[in-house]
Amino acid sequence: MPDSSDMIVFWAVVLGRLLLPLLIPRWPLPGVIICLVLDGVDQTIFQQFTSLPLEGYQGYDKSLDIYYLTVAYIATFRNWVNLDAFNVSRFLYYYRLVGVALFEALQIRWLLLVFPNTFEYFFIYYEAVRTRWNPARFGKRYWIIAAALIWIFIKLPQEYWIHVAQLDTTDLIKSKIFGVATTATWMEAIANRPMVLVIAGIALVAIVALIWWLWKRLPAPDHAFRLEADPLPEYADELNERLAIGSKGGWFGEGLIEKIILIGFVSVIFSHVLGIHGSTVQLIGEIAVIVAANALFSQILVRRRVGWESPWMHFLAMLGLNAVLAMGLIWFIRFTGGLVSMSNVVFYLLLITLIVTLYDRFRPIYTARIEHVAV
């Protein structure tokens, strides 16, 4: 059984991976980079500071990846002014979502190569452009080419390296480049072939010079350097606070369908990590009932012209509603002879409420943006 220090480290990392993505809507670029870095070092943290078994790490890692990518995707509803870039990112996100769901179900590693996580780097690229330029100035062809280059030259080699070849970068550098055993220290490696360090330094200087040369040839910036998300346009102010899913085209609309698909896929992916062995169809059906009830509740509030000024009040109101729905589902499952894990119920309760709240607050801004462009 893990000791208390192991569990402190474990929960500190997990809470970081659950809470830090909430920075993304307001601070898109630094938020997603922080999540990316934590994703890259959490296994090392577990190996160095705990004695926890890591057999299920792959599923845990991919599930939490999907969680923060989901927050990033929903943030594009709020922040991305270029609708062509948004549509590209939407395809890339759902393509990866399907791939991870298939991987969790079949445990075939090459699926992660076929369905690479191009969305993440495309999101970073868009937000890097936005720090100095207005993304609306670039057309559809520009964003498609950017996505294709990221897919082919960055993500495919990375996914192959990690998930198909399963190469350890540290071991490879020590054995193939420095010519020492993988157990050697870095000082021993450098002492064995010091010229490698010199060559690496020259290469780094050359890369920095190339980046600087390209930077100087970029078009004139549209605004000062900006990491925080752009302020919302005036036409989105009322929609941001008052509209909820279903207010356009009735209760059962495109937004409701997307929420069911989105939360359904995310929930199925997490079910493998949580050890839920029930029917996938049943799980998605339960998710659909909760999401539809949330949409109906939101629609009633819209018609009564009730809005949530505070996102926390919005979240707590939906959490209360979902807690009542969850108790009803628990009663039904137990009445029919099924078993329920309360820890899993609480986790899904928080996950569903968070995604629904973010989606309902940000999608109306996207809807307003489409209407504004159409006019």
276-328: per-residue pLDDT in tens? 766 788 888 888 888 888 888 877 776 776 666 788 888 998 999 999 988 88
- Given the structure tokens 């996102």, which residue do they identify? 311
d(CA 65, CA 36): 9
φ and ψ at residue 52, rounded to 5 degrees:
-70, 140
> Does some domain include residue 214?
yes
- Given the structure tokens 């000024």, which residue do they identify? 309
What is the tally of structural domains in the chain?
2
Sequential pLDDT tens for the chain (375 residues): 567 888 899 899 999 999 999 999 999 999 999 999 999 888 888 888 888 887 777 778 889 999 999 999 999 999 999 999 999 999 999 999 999 999 888 888 889 889 999 999 999 999 999 999 999 999 999 999 999 999 999 899 888 877 776 666 666 777 778 888 877 887 888 888 889 888 989 988 998 898 788 777 778 899 999 999 998 877 665 554 444 443 444 556 778 899 999 999 999 999 887 777 667 888 888 888 888 888 888 777 767 766 667 888 889 989 999 999 888 888 877 877 777 778 888 888 999 999 999 998 899 889 888 877 755
DSSP string across 219-236: PPPSSS---SPPPPPGGG
Residue 236's domain comprises 232-375
Instruction: Verify that 250 and 357 share a domain, yes or no.
Output: yes
Question: Which DSSP state fits 137?
Answer: G
Residue type, 239: L
d(CA 88, CA 147): 8
Instruction: Verify that 375 and 300 share a domain, yes or no.
Output: yes
d(CA 322, CA 291): 9
Residue 22: CB partners within 8 Å, gap ≥ 6? Answer: 71
Q: Which two tokens stand for residue 1?
A: 């059984």
Instruction: Verify that 273 and 349 share a domain, yes or no.
Output: yes
Q: Are 372 and 233 in contact (CB under 8 A)?
A: yes
> Does some domain include residue 247?
yes
> Does some domain include residue 293?
yes
Q: Are 170 and 43 in contact (CB under 8 A)?
A: no
Residue 24: CB partners within 8 Å, gap ≥ 6? Answer: 31, 32, 35, 68, 71, 72, 75
**Torsion region of 232: left, alpha or beta (phi above 0 gives left; psi -120 to 50 gives alpha):** beta
> Does some domain include residue 6?
no
d(CA 253, CA 190): 61
> Does some domain include residue 143?
no
Instruction: Verify that 217 and 275 share a domain, yes or no.
Output: no
231-289: per-residue pLDDT in tens? 887 766 555 444 444 344 455 677 889 999 999 999 999 988 777 766 788 888 888 88
Domain boundary (202, 230, 258) is at: 230
